[in-house]
């Protein structure tokens, strides 16, 4: 088959090394998007014998990853991230099979339907209010407050854990572990991923820095998995556990060692999947509002008209706030949280649109390109919620930015709820303006010449730090935030 069907086109590589130098570690999605223009929606490169197929349109991503899910739902085995650091036990890097299916089912039962999500609404509203209190007290620590509140919501669900106000040890561990995950889960980020035999070289050898790094990362990850679990075990034994995913399973009793192991990793998968991603989206909300005061004003006017000044918005207001809903979608479209998704891997050879896709190929959906495609989104670099309003509304980015097929993000509804409530309540009570220096001059955020805003590289991408001035909108707004829980 290979003889008659070519691999998808792509940049010409070097003999033996292939395209080792063609995939940049900085913002690879921009390079991938150029390949889309040069070679079409399906392009490929080969690095030391490993085929990497890049998908640059929603159409091909759905046709391959979704409609041919039986072939395209495996995950790569990254020696660095999966084996040496240990992420192979978390859902995100689980190999396709029974354990994968059982993890997915658990996630679905816990956070996969609108009906179950209703029970988390009060916690979402409460944690968002606490977030605003922290922001008003120390607005310069915005990034830290976002991490704390998103971590608090997921930890409540996964482990029934109430975070400490200062230096919470579990939030710190998760931050560290997710930073490591982002650095080591990108295709081709470490040479050991392309030459797996390198994992056997001893740590002391020159060039084995990645092994020392992996040891350190593995230690953080195992603490992130174990510490919250031990916390729940103690609380259950003392009869003081708050109801959570982990406590309910432990209280049901009689878990085998394998079931206990799975429970620990399911809870950690939940926590690790949810802690860092939603952070990026909420941070992007603040960046967008600080860059576009006119949009913030329009959103505030809608909340004033629908909710008034006597209470904070709640999920019950959602269907009456079309502009806030459009703004939330635009945040997810404009700032790609996972610009190149998480790579899938093929379980067998395939021929797609005449191209040969060998078994074991890594498939990278260029989500950034799909949500910034001028053929779908007019002036795609511009932040413009209006694109989602009216009869000519552009496609909902939530159908793209959470990935595709059987590996689609299982946390969509939770992410959607956390971002929505953060949008509605922050806009209701805060004025978010560009940062100013001591003389009152407006400070400009760093701007990427292509995209119009700066974001970090890595599997989970974040807006780079930006100047922003946050104040309470009114005395009444402060009272609402400070009201008893
Ligand atoms: C704005 C927020 C989020 C975005 C943009 C996002 C995006 C993604 C993407 C693109 C993938 C890869 C899908 C694929 O392979 O095709 C993914 C996987 C995953 N996400 Fe999310 N996610 C978000 C929030 C969450 C939350 C809140 C949770 C859990 C509470 C979560 C848990 C996971 C897990 C466990 C996986 C791996 C699924 C698997 O491999 O089967 N995510 N997410």
pLDDT tens per residue across span 252-289? 888 999 999 999 999 999 988 887 899 999 999 999 99
Please report, for residues 88, 97, 362, 433, the alpha-carbon distance to residue 42 in angstroms, rounded to integers and kept in the order given. 28, 27, 13, 41
Distance CA 182, CA 338 (A): 10
Residue nearest to atom 14 of ligand 1 (CA): 403
CB atoms < 10 A from the CB of 103, how many? 20
Tell whether ipTM is more than 0.90. yes
**Looking at residue 360, what is its pLDDT?**
95
Distance CA 209, CA 221 (A): 18
Crossing angle of helices 209-238/142-159, nearest 10°? Answer: 50
User: CA neighbours within 13 Å on the CB side: how many for 450?
Assistant: 13
φ and ψ at residue 45, rounded to 5 degrees = -135, 165
Is 36 in contact with 29 (CB distance < 8 Å)?
no
Structural domain contains residue 458? yes
The residue whose CB lies within 8 Å of the most ligand 1 atoms, and thus the one to mutate among 402, 420, 421, 455, is 402
Residue nearest to atom 7 of ligand 1 (CA): 402
362-365 and 344-345 strand pairing? antiparallel
**Looking at residue 187, what is its pLDDT?**
67
CB atoms < 10 A from the CB of 354, how many? 10
CATH of the domain at 136: 1.10.630.10
Which residues are CB-contacts of 69 (< 8 A; sequence separation ≥ 6)? 405, 406
**Looking at residue 452, what is its pLDDT?**
79
User: What pTM, to 2 d.p., does this model score?
Assistant: 0.94
The residue whose CB lies within 8 Å of the most ligand 1 atoms, and thus the one to mutate among 120, 146, 277, is 277
Task: Give the residue ranges of DSSP H helices in 138-256.
Answer: 142-159, 169-184, 191-194, 209-238, 245-252
Q: How far is the CA of 460 from the centre of ligand 1 (A)?
A: 10
In this prediction, the residues of the chain whose per-residue pLDDT falls under 50 are none
**Looking at residue 374, what is its pLDDT?**
97
Please tell me the total count of domains within the chain: 1
Task: Tell which atom from ligand 1 comes closest to the C-alpha of 404.
Answer: 16
Task: Give the residue ranges of DSSP H helices in 335-406.
Answer: 367-371
- Look-up: residue for tokens 């989104």? 377
Q: How far is the CA of 411 from the centre of ligand 1 (A)?
A: 6
The residue whose CB lies within 8 Å of the most ligand 1 atoms, and thus the one to mutate among 147, 270, 411, 459, is 411
**Looking at residue 322, what is its pLDDT?**
98
Structural domain contains residue 271? yes
**Looking at residue 194, what is its pLDDT?**
80
**Looking at residue 64, what is its pLDDT?**
98
Task: Tell which atom from ligand 1 comes closest to the C-alpha of 100.
Answer: 41
Domain of 144, in residue numbers: 28-482
Structural domain contains residue 202? yes
Distance CA 420, CA 426 (A): 10
Structural domain contains residue 406? yes
Distance CA 189, CA 76 (A): 13
Structural domain contains residue 12? no
Structural domain contains residue 76? yes
42-47 and 350-352 strand pairing? unpaired
Is 416 in contact with 282 (CB distance < 8 Å)?
no
CB atoms < 10 A from the CB of 127, how many? 22
Structural domain contains residue 10? no
- Look-up: residue for tokens 């005449």? 354
Which tokens go with 110? 């816990």
CB atoms < 10 A from the CB of 95, how many? 14
Which tokens go with 168? 């919470």
Which tokens go with 484? 């008893």
Residue nearest to atom 27 of ligand 1 (CA): 274
CB atoms < 10 A from the CB of 79, how many? 24
Q: Binding site for heme: what residues are annotated?
A: 409
φ and ψ at residue 162, rounded to 5 degrees = -95, 120
Structural domain contains residue 211? yes
Ligand 1 neighbours by CB, cut-off 6 Å: 91-92, 154, 269-270, 273-274, 277-278, 281, 337-338, 341-342, 344, 401-404, 407-411, 414-415
- Look-up: residue for tokens 């980015």? 397
């Amino acid at each position: 088959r290979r003889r008659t069907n070519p691999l998808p086109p792509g940049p010409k590589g070097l003999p033996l090394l292939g395209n080792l130098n063609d995939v940049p570690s900085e913002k690879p999605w921009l390079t991938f998007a150029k390949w889309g223009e040069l070679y079409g929606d399906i392009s490929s490169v080969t690095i030391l014998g490993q085929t990497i197929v890049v998908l640059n349109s929603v159409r091909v991503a759905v046709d391959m990853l979704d409609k041919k899910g039986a072939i395209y739902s495996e995950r790569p085995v990254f020696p660095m991230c999966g084996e040496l650091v240990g992420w192979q036990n978390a859902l995100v890097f689980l190999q396709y099979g029974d354990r994968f299916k059982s993890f997915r089912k658990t996630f679905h039962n816990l956070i996969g339907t609108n009906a179950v999500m209703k029970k988390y609404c009060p916690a979402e509203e409460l944690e968002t209010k606490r977030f605003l209190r922290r922001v008003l007290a120390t607005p310069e620590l915005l990034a830290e407050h976002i991490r704390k509140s998103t971590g608090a919501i997921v930890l409540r669900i996964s482990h029934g854990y109430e975070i400490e106000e200062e230096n919470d040890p579990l939030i710190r561990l998760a931050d560290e572990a997710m930073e490591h995950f982002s650095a080591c889960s990108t295709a081709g980020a470490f040479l050991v991923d392309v030459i797996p035999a390198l994992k056997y070289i001893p740590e002391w050898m020159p060039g084995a820095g990645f092994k020392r790094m992996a040891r350190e990362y593995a230690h953080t990850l195992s603490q992130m998995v174990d510490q919250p679990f031990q916390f729940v075990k103690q609380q259950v034994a003392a009869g003081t556990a708050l109801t959570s995913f982990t406590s309910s399973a432990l209280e049901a009793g009689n878990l085998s060692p394998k079931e206990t192991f799975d429970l620990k990793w399911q809870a950690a998968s939940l926590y690790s999947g949810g802690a860092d991603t939603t952070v990026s989206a909420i941070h992007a909300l603040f960046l967008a509002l600080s860059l576009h005061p006119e949009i913030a004003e329009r959103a505030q006017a809608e909340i004033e008209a629908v909710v008034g000044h006597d209470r904070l918005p709640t999920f019950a207001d959602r269907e009456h706030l079309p502009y806030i809903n459009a703004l939330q979608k635009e945040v997810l479209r404009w700032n790609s949280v996972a610009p190149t998704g998480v790579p899938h891997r093929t379980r067998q050879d395939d021929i797609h649109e005449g191209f040969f896709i060998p078994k074991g190929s890594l498939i990278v959906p260029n989500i950034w390109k799909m949500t910034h495609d001028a053929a779908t989104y007019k002036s795609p670099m511009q932040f413009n919620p209006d694109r989602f309003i009216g009869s000519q509304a552009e496609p909902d980015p939530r159908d793209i930015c959470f990935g595709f097929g059987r590996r689609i993000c299982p946390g969509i509804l939770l992410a959607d709820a956390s971002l929505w409530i953060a949008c509605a309540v922050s806009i209701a009570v805060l004025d978010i303006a560009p940062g100013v220096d001591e003389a009152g001059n407006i400070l400009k955020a760093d701007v990427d010449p292509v995209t119009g805003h700066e974001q970090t590289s890595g599997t989970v991408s974040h807006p780079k730090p930006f100047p922003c001035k946050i104040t309470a909108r009114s005395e009444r707004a402060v009272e609402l935030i400070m009201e008893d829980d």
